[in-house]
Amino acid sequence: MAASPRLVRLGRKGLVLNTMYCVYIIYSQKNKKIYKGSCDDIKNRLEYHNRGKVTSTKSGKPWELIYCEFFTNKADALIEERFLKSGKGRERIKYLLTNTLKRKNTTGEVAEWPKAAHC
């Protein structure tokens, strides 16, 4: 299994690996919903969702990664996650992923945009 993404930089003692934090959006074809979250290992987190280990996503299995944004700082990733769950953030997601979601949804409509945060 691959390690989580790392940022490599040159430090005083040579190369230094820093953890990268991911803000992600996953999509369920089964229930036509999206879920927003953050983590430091997107591959493992997606597997966790698809094994039904997350209560709020259990009914939508399988989930597919449709958006991922990386940060070098965990606090910045959490700020972005909170923003994406806000009204303005939902508008931004709708704008960024409209074509992606239209292709995923068999009716040609954009997936349902929940008013309450899911994660």
Express each pLDDT in 15-28 by its tens digit.
Answer: 666 789 999 999 99
Cα 102 from Cα 17, distance rounded (Å): 38
* Residues whose CB falls within 8 Å of the CB of residue 21, separated by 6 or more in sequence, listed in order: 38, 39, 40, 70, 71, 72, 73, 74, 76, 77
Cα 98 from Cα 94, distance rounded (Å): 5
What is the torsion angle, in degrees rounded to the nearest 10, for the CA atoms of residue 94, residue 83, residue 61 and residue 33?
Answer: -30
pTM equals 0.76
pLDDT tens for the 119 residues of the chain, in order: 344 555 556 566 666 667 899 999 999 989 989 999 999 999 999 999 999 999 999 999 999 999 999 999 999 999 999 999 999 999 999 999 988 888 876 544 444 544 443 44
Q: Parse the chain into domains and list their residue ranges.
A: 20-104
Which fold does the domain 20-104 belong to in CATH? Answer: GIY-YIG endonuclease (3.40.1440)
